[in-house]
Amino acid sequence: QVRLVESGGGLVQPGGSLRLSCAPAGNIFSIDALYWYRQAPGKERDLVAGISSRGITNYADSVKGRFTISIDNAKNTGYLQMNSLKPEDTAVYYCKLGDAYGHEYWGQGTQVTVSS
């Protein structure tokens, strides 16, 4: 199995910021595409943001203007910058990386809790 190293979650107050990161363990492949999903308790796993190999981004309406997805090619690491966090953003966040051959790999998830 290919393992992804996902980190950056934690507890933050409403209005705060977090940056999630995701990278292939051991740098065993180059990131071609990045997707971030989240799953709140009792809810389905939903796509939050994605960036394609052509650099095209898309965001869920609920996070537009607040979240930014990016790939640092030099570091071979994907990010999700989350600003102006709201309690409804509370969820486990999962990254999914795609390599140049179309293979996709899931991260283990990281908990984001937004609470005062």
**15-30, pLDDT tens digit by residue?**
999 999 999 999 999 9
The CA distance from 20 to 22, in Å, is 7
**Dihedral sign of CA atoms 70, 47, 22, 66 in order:** positive
Q: What is the mean pLDDT of residues 100-111?
A: 96
Task: Say yes or no to pLDDT of 67 above 90.
Answer: yes
Chain-centroid distance, C-alpha 63: 12
Asked if 104 contacts 96 with a C-beta cutoff of 8 angstroms, the reply is yes
CA angle 95, 53, 82 (to 5 degrees): 40
